[in-house]
Amino acid sequence: MDMFLRVSPVALVRSMVGLAMVMVFLAACGGGSTDPVTLSAPPPTAVTIAPTQVPIDIPPTAVAPTTPATPTQAAQTGTLEEQIAAGKILYEKTAGGVGCALCHGIDGKGDPLYAAPSNRGATADQILDAIETRPQMAFLVLSNDEVQAIAAYLKVLAEQP
């Protein structure tokens, strides 16, 4: 008789990440303690920085890069392809500091471990509604442009097998 519970490595990592998030949250809010805690910080130190003038030589042929530097910039100003690419990064890695894929799965098909439904093909309005009405998503703070980029990526995911 096998006495060990078989757990997939992905589920184990997700559980550990979830536990770590709860521990960080509890540490940040005092761990649920009702005892008042007084923290004393050292007095501020004045720092004076002397202004300097550094000559900047920009050649007249210099052109600003056309590729946005961050997913947020791509979501705000990019083409549809750039928005989809930004949405992929936000979905997989950066939204809320962990990415939507942590709970909804890298393929967007959902994960019963987190009671996370499939979000393939979700519209921006559906994403905003979920963020506003589901307590487990309350930690997400996304701009409208970022939500639009994630929705563009989820539309692409919906077309995948």
Residue-wise pLDDT for 35-69, tens only, equals 444 445 556 555 555 555 545 454 444 444 444 44
Average pLDDT, rounded, for the chain: 73
Greater model confidence, 33 or 124: 124
Cβ neighbourhood burial of 109 (10 Å; 0-12, 13-18, 19+) = middle
Four-point Cα dihedral 135, 138, 144, 149, nearest 10: -80
Question: Could you report how far apart the first and last alpha carbons of the chain are, in Å?
Answer: 38
Q: Which CATH number fits domain 71-158: 1.10.760.10, 1.10.287.310, 3.30.420.40, 3.40.50.970?
A: 1.10.760.10
**pLDDT higher than threshold 60 for residue 121:** yes
Burial of 22 (0-12, 13-18, 19+ CB in 10 A): exposed
Q: What is the pLDDT of residue 114?
A: 85
| Residue ranges per structural domain of the chain | 71-158
Q: Alpha carbon of 23 to those of 16, 26, 30: distances in Å?
A: 10, 5, 10
Using pLDDT thresholds of 50, 70 and 90, give the confidence band for residue 94.
confident
Q: How confident is the model at residue 155 (pLDDT cuts 50, 70, 90)?
A: very high
The values of phi and psi at residue 116, to 5°, are: -100, 120
Structure tokens at 76: 């705000």
Q: What per-residue confidence (pLDDT) applies to 96? A: 82
Q: What is the mean pLDDT of residues 92-100?
A: 88
Q: Are 58 and 73 in contact (CB under 8 A)?
A: no
pLDDT for res 90: 93
In this model, does residue 14 exceed pLDDT 70? no
